[in-house]
């Protein structure tokens, strides 16, 4: 009974310590976690490398994965970039196994861990901000060490009652019996992780049991394979009812685990005898930690070269549903303020592109004898207005204020863009026609200038909605991912930036010139009533039509300016 209590208590303390330590490390990292992930995913290899490093630092693959889902949902990262980070997180999470192998099962750290728990808890309670987070990380780390000591004591008692011969044999038997033993232990490992909801805790139990002599090295390796697969059960459960992005990443994660397990099982008859022979000179727990890491590294190395095809497979199995305008408004993005802002920013850009593009097409057909039916502009405006309302509600649910001044400025500019786009949608949604009674050249000049403004705004909005932003961390990503056959990617990037500035300048000139035309048009048109050239009703209608055109161009221009971050 005391053995079971020690084992269960050790596992419980380990899970609690990991939870407290992870929360503290995440708080200590702050927005840097999101910044690093955003900058690191330039290529699949660098994304996997930095995903492993970040996970090793924060000691939680779940934290890395959930942050990645938010960034992918918001459009900050592409799906292949996010998947590379998730692959790397699987490698980084094996670092805890090394902690258990090199320190946890070898040394009793109770005397050192208890004072660390006290100091960490004191700092957590009395400190603020990052200091409080550091205290939580220290207390959590000490809890993990204390849990390992408790677990080690429990496994010592278990070793007196359990012998490797009591478990299914893996080596030294017939091929069929060995396969049966491997599969049985793999299933046991999967169940252990599914119950504990932590592969790290399950592997800690396995390493402790092997160190105590309760299970053999070959049996522990089979358990580790199952425990790695079991990690995917929590992702599968979290994906139920989640967004399509979360489901795709969960599916890709499960496929990754299954493929890596299949590779390990195929190589099992080759690798395990080598490990057994190496155990004569190297400690078994150290070999198990190395096997755990190598197992995940091999899976990443196999899938990284085909990551684009892998992502297309996931997208084909789970196609995107819902309106393309609100596709970025994924609840997963709400966990990180920067992802929330980017999701709203891209939603505004897509709505602006839809409204300006449809209006430019409709106004192009205007001539002295035709007008634009209201349905040609109100239908896109209704859809865009709905998307903008959802974006406003979405950004109101952000988890917390931005931490850096750059993020605060980006939030402010996004809100400005949202406001101007909403006003544009409101004007477009009015059940009126944009055509004007027969008049002079100023009427058509106003229409032509508004068409130019709408086309420029739609072009800029499309650039923001699709292409990663070039004013922040994505600038480095775009430069690094440029095709290698291009000798001067910096020049291409500079040319693209220059083109954007030219379009923005043209949009500004069109909007301001339309304002000048409106003022002159108003004076001329109203003055023509006195000479009897037009009726008062026609004159006022024409003045109102040009005023609306100017308002549309102005709001399109200001929304595009703020989307590009050119104005505070």
* Predicted local confidence at residue 561, as pLDDT: 92
In the numeric block, the tokens 């006290």 are attached to 118
Residue 216: strand, helix, or coil: coil
* Predicted local confidence at residue 415, as pLDDT: 92
With b for 16 or more beta-carbon neighbours within 10 A and e for fewer, the 369-389 pattern comes to eebbebebbbebbebbbebbe
* Predicted local confidence at residue 239, as pLDDT: 64
The DSSP symbol for 240 reads: T
State in Å, rounded, how far the first CA of the chain is from the last one. Answer: 66
Q: What is the mean pLDDT of residues 101-105?
A: 68
Ramachandran bin of 488, using left for φ above 0, alpha for ψ from -120 to 50, beta for the remaining angles: beta
Comparison of pLDDT for 151 and 526, the residue scoring more: 526
Q: Which residues, other chains included, contact 406 with Cβ-Cβ below 8 Å and sequence gap of 6+?
A: 472
- The answer, as to whether pTM is greater than 0.75, is no
pLDDT tens profile 1-10: 566 676 677 7
Share of the chain above pLDDT 70, in %: 71
In the numeric block, the tokens 């301001």 are attached to 512
Model confidence at 559: pLDDT above 90: yes
Q: What is the mean pLDDT of the chain?
A: 76
Q: Which residues, other chains included, contact 473 with Cβ-Cβ below 8 Å and sequence gap of 6+?
A: 35, 38, 39
Domain residue spans of the chain = 2-317, 326-563
Q: What is the mean pLDDT of residues 560-566?
A: 88
Q: Whole-angstrom Cα distance, residue 66 to residue 64?
A: 6
Q: Which residues, other chains included, contact 118 with Cβ-Cβ below 8 Å and sequence gap of 6+?
A: none
* Predicted local confidence at residue 478, as pLDDT: 34
* Predicted local confidence at residue 349, as pLDDT: 92
Comparison of pLDDT for 128 and 25, the residue scoring more: 128
Topology annotation, domain 326-563:
Methane Monooxygenase Hydroxylase; Chain G, domain 1 (1.20.58)
Model confidence at 471: pLDDT above 50: no
pLDDT tens profile 310-365: 888 888 887 776 677 887 787 767 767 777 888 899 899 999 998 998 888 888 77
pLDDT-wise least confident of 128-137, 269-278, 297-306, 417-426? 128-137
Whether the Cβ atoms of residue 142 and residue 120 lie closer than 8 Å to each other:
yes
Comparison of pLDDT for 494 and 246, the residue scoring more: 246
* Predicted local confidence at residue 42, as pLDDT: 66
* Predicted local confidence at residue 481, as pLDDT: 33
The DSSP symbol for 483 reads: -
* Predicted local confidence at residue 149, as pLDDT: 65
Q: What are the C-alpha distances in Å from 306 to residues 47, 50, 120, 130, 301?
A: 14, 19, 45, 40, 10
Token reading at 135: 């205290």
* Predicted local confidence at residue 472, as pLDDT: 38
The DSSP symbol for 298 reads: H
Residue 287: is it exposed, middle or buried by C-beta count within 10 angstroms (0-12/13-18/19+)?
buried
């Amino acid at each position: 009974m005391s053995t079971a209590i020690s084992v269960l208590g050790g596992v419980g303390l380990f899970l609690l310590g990991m939870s407290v330590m992870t929360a503290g490390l995440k708080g200590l990292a702050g927005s840097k976690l999101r910044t690093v992930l955003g900058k690191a995913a330039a290529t699949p290899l660098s994304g996997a490398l930095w995903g492993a490093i970040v996970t090793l630092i924060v000691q939680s693959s779940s934290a890395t994965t959930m942050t990645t889902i938010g960034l992918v949902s918001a459009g900050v990262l592409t799906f292949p970039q996010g998947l590379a980070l998730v692959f790397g997180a699987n490698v980084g999470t094996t670092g805890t196994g090394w902690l258990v192998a090199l320190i946890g099962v070898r040394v009793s750290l109770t005397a050192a861990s208890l004072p660390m728990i006290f100091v960490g808890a004191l700092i957590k309670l009395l400190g603020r901000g990052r200091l409080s987070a550091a205290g939580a990380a220290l207390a959590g780390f000490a809890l993990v060490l204390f849990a390992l000591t408790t677990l080690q004591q429990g496994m010592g008692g278990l070793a007196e009652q359990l012998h490797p011969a009591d478990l299914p044999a893996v080596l030294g038997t017939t091929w069929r019996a060995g396969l049966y033993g491997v599969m049985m232990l793999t299933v046991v490992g999967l169940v252990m992780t599914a119950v504990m909801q932590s592969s790290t805790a399950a592997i800690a139990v396995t390493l402790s049991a092997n160190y105590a002599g309760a299970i053999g090295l070959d049996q522990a390796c089979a358990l580790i394979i199952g425990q790695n697969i079991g990690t995917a059960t929590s992702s599968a459960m979290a994906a139920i009812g989640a967004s399509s992005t979360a489901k795709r990443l969960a599916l890709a994660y499960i496929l990754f685990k299954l493929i890596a397990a299949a590779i390990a099982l195929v190589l099992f008859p080759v690798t395990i005898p080598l490990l057994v022979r190496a155990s004569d000179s190297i400690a078994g727990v150290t070999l198990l930690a190395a096997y755990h890491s190598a197992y995940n590294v091999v899976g990443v190395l196999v899938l990284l070269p085909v990551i684009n095809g892998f992502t297309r497979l996931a997208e084909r199995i789970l196609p995107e549903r819902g309106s393309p305008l609100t596709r970025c408004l994924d609840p997963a993005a709400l966990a990180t303020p920067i992802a929330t802002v980017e999701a709203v920013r891209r939603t505004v850009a897509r709505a602006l592109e839809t409204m300006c593009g449809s209006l430019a097409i409709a106004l192009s057909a205007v001539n002295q004898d035709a007008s634009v039916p209201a349905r040609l502009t109100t239908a896109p405006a209704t859809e865009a207005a709905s998307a903008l309302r959802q974006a406003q509600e979405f950004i109101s649910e952000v988890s917390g204020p931005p931490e850096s001044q750059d993020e605060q400025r980006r939030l402010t500019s996004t809100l400005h863009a949202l406001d101007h786009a909403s006003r544009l949608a409101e004007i477009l949604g009015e059940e009126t026609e944009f055509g004007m009674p027969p008049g002079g050249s100023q009427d058509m000049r106003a229409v032509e200038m508004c068409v130019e403004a709408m086309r420029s705004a739609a072009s800029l909005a499309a650039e923001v909605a699709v292409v990663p932003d070039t004013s922040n961390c994505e600038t480095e990503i775009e430069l690094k991912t440029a095709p290698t056959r291009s000798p001067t990617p910096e020049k291409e990037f500079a040319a693209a930036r220059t083109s954007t500035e030219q379009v923005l300048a043209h949009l500004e000139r069109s909007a301001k010139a339309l304002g000048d035309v409106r003022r002159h048009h108003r004076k001329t048109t109203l003055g023509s009533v006195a000479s009897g050239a037009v009726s008062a009703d026609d004159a006022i209608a024409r003045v109102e039509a040009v005023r609306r055109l100017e308002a549309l161009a102005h709001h399109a221009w200001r929304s595009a300016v703020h989307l590009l971050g050119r104005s505070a």
